[in-house]
Homo-oligomer: A and B are copies of this chain.
Amino acid sequence: MSILQGSDLECVRGDRRLFKDINFSLEAGELIQVHGPNGSGKTSLLRMLCGLAIPAHGKICWHGTDIRSLKGDYYGAITYLGHLSGVKDDLTAIENLRISSALAGVEIDAKKAHDALQHMGLGGRELLPVKVLSQGQRRRVALARLLVCRTVLWILDEPLAALDSAAVKLVQNLLEQHLVQGGMVVMTTHQEIDIAAGATHRLQLA
């Protein structure tokens, strides 16, 4: 039995069936990359994995139990990053990071937040309100959560959007390190990215 397992998943949006009979399983240290053209249902699949949407058919199990009956226990084990960054325009980068990780169940002090942001290349910008930052910088603030969270499963929807090549490299390292430590990742991206560590599965939609 794998740690995360999706069986026979089907997604219906409006009057359109996006996909059906999707099966996958994920072990510690593995990564699934979801591929597919625009509108093929990648985001929909990821939201199902988080329990934010309910599959029309099939089920998703975590350690063998349906995630819908796990609730809080499951939420404590995942980190989701969607198309929207979830950063507050009026707060500074540090405040955003501290609060978002507190909400995810990990309280960190300003020093630690500062270090994480520094590592994401935001040194010197930690005290600016996020609304004045550039598109890529905002995305980096959101990604900094990955540095401080201690969850095993990361669900990332296009983490590379708006990032420059230096930041892409950074995210790549982060993922590799997470996999080496026994973490798991499900992600989508339209850009090519190659992860050295761990087994990489490919899930093609449409």
Chain A residues proximal to chain B, CB less than 8 Å: 13-14, 36-40, 42-43, 83, 121, 125, 128, 132-137, 139-140, 158, 161-167, 190-191
Contact = CB atoms under 8 A, between A and B. Distances in A.
B162 A161 contact: yes
A38 B128 contact: no
Contacts of A135: 38, 43, 83, 158
Contacts of A167: 37-38
- Copy total for this chain: 2
Contacts of A128: 14
Nearest to A134: B39
23 contacts: A36-B164, A37-B136, A37-B167, A38-B121, A38-B136, A38-B137, A38-B139, A38-B140, A38-B162, A38-B163, A38-B164, A38-B167, A39-B134, A42-B134, A43-B134, A83-B135, A83-B162, A135-B158, A161-B161, A161-B162, A164-B190, A165-B190, A191-B191
